[in-house]
Structure 1
């Protein structure tokens, strides 16, 4: 079974208690449950990790880069937290591997302080999900799944096979489910 990596950076272990007016009241454990349910629905394994250490995040990115190269990992959803705005090392780690990465932020960083508007990660990410709250995590997993060419398991309900709000076709006029 191929896997998807969900990687969370500094202070995301405080999700649900740190600044709930900005980040919401959902805990990181709840986010993991959302991601696990989406991965299972798509027939994927899930590795869900969090670290406050830049070096540990780099080690995991490199580890899963090798997994992707071997065909065992479809990509990573990465919420780099504050390292978004400071870490050339994380940029270089992602740039140096063959792991598709979607950068994710729970809050809309573009509506916040000016220093949060710049990302060192975006230039090496295949996409970004910003400001959709914790619901951005399963959306990003679906986007990686679609771009990987993996199919939904046969047991998936027909409604799950008819499309997704992540349809990359620019001329698509399908309605997204509510």
Structure 2
């Protein structure tokens, strides 16, 4: 049986992990996140591909790719969370395709500035995990593994 591929997609400024507000986002960088996700995925028998873009259109295209190739998605939409209806429309296609979409946030948006408290992604996500740092990605991978059995 082929290993299930999971796309871990990260939005704007997450390429600056370790540099951008380390008190909020931690001291580890995107490369370390990718390494941890690969290790956790391997333990679950999953294949993971971690991507990051500051370009909204690119993230939307990646979600289209996930739908077309039947890949579950773990998405940290970052700032796109609060206003990207295009991303929300793309993400809704995962639900239609019966694929998990786990929304992940390193910090807890509900405990931050008021504008961060609204997500246009959460209504189309299978689940949302917030405020647990990189550990949230591990939980998301475990959720995908469970949901795809």
TM-score tier by shorter-chain length is over 0.9
- Deviation, structure 1 residue 96: 2.4
Deviation at 1:8, TM superposition (A): 0.3
Please say which structure displays the higher CA radius of gyration. 1
Contact 2:10 2:52 in 1 (8 A): yes
| 1:101-120 superposed matches below 5 A | 101-120=101-120
Structure 1 unaligned segments of length 5 or more: list them: 150-178
* SS class of match (2:134): helix
Measure, in 2, the Cα distance between the counterparts of 1:76 and 1:96: 11
Deviation at 1:108, TM superposition (A): 0.7
Which of 78, 81, 105 in structure 1 is aligned with 2:78?
A: 81
Match of 1:23 among 6, 25, 32: 25
TM-score normalized by the length of structure 2: 0.94
- Structure 2 unaligned regions, length at least 5: none
Post-superposition offset of 1:2:
1.2
**Residues 1-150 of structure 1 aligned to structure 2 (within 5 Å):** 1-68=3-70, 73=71, 75-97=72-94, 98=97, 99-149=99-149
CA contact (8 A) 2:100 2:147 kept: no
RMSD over aligned Cα atoms: 0.8
Pick the structure with more helix per residue. 2
Shift of 1:62: 0.4
TM-score w.r.t. the length of structure 1 is 0.79
